[in-house]
C-alpha cells in the first residue's frame, strides 16, 4: 500500500482563527433538545410578602445521554465498519482498534452514519475484505448505503443508541465560507481567489445549542499527481471561549503542483454520528485518491485537546 495514513497532511492542530464569535452566525438555535430545563418554576403568584422565588440551580446539562431505544440485533461491542473493513469500537473507556477478533457473530444490525443515507442494514460474520490487504470486516447487506465511489464514504455501527442525536444539516451560504476557506488556504501558502466549496454543513456536536460548521473546499485537477494550484481541505469552525477557531480535518495542498511521490488526496465529510454512545457526535472524514479510499473517525475531545483522530480504515493499492 503506497499511501500511508500517517504521511497525510492531516493537521490535527487547532489553528487560531479570527472573526466574530459564532461559527455559524446564521443560527445558534439548533434542534438541541437540552438545557432548557430551568423554566416552569417560580412563576407562582404566591400570597404574602416574602415571595422567595427560588430558582433551581442552573445545571446546564449538555448532551443528554443517548437513548438506547433503537431496536435491533446489536453487537456486544458497538462495532464500527466501513464497507471495506472494520475500524474498531468503543470499549466503554477507550477506542479499540480492530485486532484479530471482531465482536460479532453475523446477523447483526448496523446503523448507517453517512451524508448520503441513514437507516439500518445488516452485517455478516467476521471475514476478510479488500484484497490483497485482507482487512478484517463484515460483509454488509447494502454497502452502497455508506457511499459509492468516489465518495464521500460513511460508516455503519452496530450500536443501539440514536447515532445522530443533534442537529446536522446542509447549509447554503457558501459565499461566507468561501471567504473563510480563502483565508485558511492563504495561511497555508495558497492563494485561491474563490475557493470551490464542495460541502457545507452546520452541526451541533455536543448538543449545547451552539452550532459548529463543517466545510470542504476542493479543486483537484490532477489525478495521479497534483497540478499546480490543486487543493482539497476539510475543516471545522467552532466557537471556543467566545472565539471562532478553525481545526483542519484533512488537507492536500499543492500550490506548485506535484513532486515525485506526491498524491492528490481528496477529502470530504462522510457523516456525523455518536460512535461511542456519550451523546456527543464524532465526525467521519472520508478521503480518496486514484486507487483507494479511507475513512477516519475524529472526536472533539474537549476545548484543550480539540479534534483527535481516533480510528481509521482504508482500502487501496
Nearer to Ca ion, 108 or 206 (CB): 206
Contact call for residue 210 and Ca ion (CB under 5 A): yes
Bridge-partner residues for 51, per DSSP? Answer: none
Shortest CB 23 distance to Ca ion, Å: 8
Please identify, using beta-carbon distances, which residue of 24 and 218 lies nearer to Ca ion.
24
Applying CB under 5 A, among 262, 278, 290, 308 the residue interacting with Ca ion is 278
Q: Does 208 help bind Ca ion (rule: CB under 5 A)?
A: yes
Q: Which of residues 32-51 bind Ca ion (CB under 5 A)?
A: none
Burial 21-32 (b: 16+ CB within 10 A, else e): ebbbeebeebeb
Please, which residue, 293 or 313, has the CB nearer to Ca ion? 313
Give the Cα separation of 101 and 122 in Å (integer). 19
Does 276 participate in binding Ca ion (rule CB under 5 A)?
Answer: yes
Q: At closest approach, how far in Å is the CB of 166 from Ca ion?
A: 8
- Asked if 275 and 163 touch (Cβ cutoff 8 Å), the reply is yes
Q: How far is the CB of 269 from Ca ion (least distance, A)?
A: 16
Q: Which three cell numbers stand for residue 258?
A: 506535484
Q: Which is nearer to Ca ion, 204 or 218 (CB)?
A: 204
- Which residue of 215, 274, 293, 294 would you call a contact of Ca ion, by CB under 5 A? 274
Cell numbers that stand for 4 in this block: 500511508
Q: Which residue, 17 or 195, is less far from Ca ion as judged by CB?
A: 17
In the chain, the DSSP E strands lie at 14-15, 80-82, 85-90, 95-97, 108-113, 120-129, 135-140, 155-157, 168-170, 197-203, 212-219, 230-240, 243-254, 266-273, 282-289, 292-302, 306-316
Q: Rounded to the nearest whole angstrom, what is the least distance from the CB of residue 34 to Ca ion in the complex? A: 11
Pick from 204, 218, 230, 296 the residue near Ca ion by CB under 5 A: 204
The C-alpha atoms of residue 228 and residue 197 are separated, in whole angstroms, by 19
The residue whose grid cell reads 480510528 is 311
Q: Read off the C-alpha cell for 20.
A: 466574530
| For Ca ion, the closer CB: 219 or 278 | 278
- Alpha carbon 206 to its chain centroid, in Å, reads 12
- If one asks whether residue 109 binds Ca ion (CB under 5 A), the answer comes out as no
How many chain residues interact with Ca ion (CB under 5 A)?
Answer: 8
Where on the chain is the footprint of Ca ion (CB under 5 A)? 204, 206, 208, 210, 274, 276, 278, 280
Amino acid at each position: 500500500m503506497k499511501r500511508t495514513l500517517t504521511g497525510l497532511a492531516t493537521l490535527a492542530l487547532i489553528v487560531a482563527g479570527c472573526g466574530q464569535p459564532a461559527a455559524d452566525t446564521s443560527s445558534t438555535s439548533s434542534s438541541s433538545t437540552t438545557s432548557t430545563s430551568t423554566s416552569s418554576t417560580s412563576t407562582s403568584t404566591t400570597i404574602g410578602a416574602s415571595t422567595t422565588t427560588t430558582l433551581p440551580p442552573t445545571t446546564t446539562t449538555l448532551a443528554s445521554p443517548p437513548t438506547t431505544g433503537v431496536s435491533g440485533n446489536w453487537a456486544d461491542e458497538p462495532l464500527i465498519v466501513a464497507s471495506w473493513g472494520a475500524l474498531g469500537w468503543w470499549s466503554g473507556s477507550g477506542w479499540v482498534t480492530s485486532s484479530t477478533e471482531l465482536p460479532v457473530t453475523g446477523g447483526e444490525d448496523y446503523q448507517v452514519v453517512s451524508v448520503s443515507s441513514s437507516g439500518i442494514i445488516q452485517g455478516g460474520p467476521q471475514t476478510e475484505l479488500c484484497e490483497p490487504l485482507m482487512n478484517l470486516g463484515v460483509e454488509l447487506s447494502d454497502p452502497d448505503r455508506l457511499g459509492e465511489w468516489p465518495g464521500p464514504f460513511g460508516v455503519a455501527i452496530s450500536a443501539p443508541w440514536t447515532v445522530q442525536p443533534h442537529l446536522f444539516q446542509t447549509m447554503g451560504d457558501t459565499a461566507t465560507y468561501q471567504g473563510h476557506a480563502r483565508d485558511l488556504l492563504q495561511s497555508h501558502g495558497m492563494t485561491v481567489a474563490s475557493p470551490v466549496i464542495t460541502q457545507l454543513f452546520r452541526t451541533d456536536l455536543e448538543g449545547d445549542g451552539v452550532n459548529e460548521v463543517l466545510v470542504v473546499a476542493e479543486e483537484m485537477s490532477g489525478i495521479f499527481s497534483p497540478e499546480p494550484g490543486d487543493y482539497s481541505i476539510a475543516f471545522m469552525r467552532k466557537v471556543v471561549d467566545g472565539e471562532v477557531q478553525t481545526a483542519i480535518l484533512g488537507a492536500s495542498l499543492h500550490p506548485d503542483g506535484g513532486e515525485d511521490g506526491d498524491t492528490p488526496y481528496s477529502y470530504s465529510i462522510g457523516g456525523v454520528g455518536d460512535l461511542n454512545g456519550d451523546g456527543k457526535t464524532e465526525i467521519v472524514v472520508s478521503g480518496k485518491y486514484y486507487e483507494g479510499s479511507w475513512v477516519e473517525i475524529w472526536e472533539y475531545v474537549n476545548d484543550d485537546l480539540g479534534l483527535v483522530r481516533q480510528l481509521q480504515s482504508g482500502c487501496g493499492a
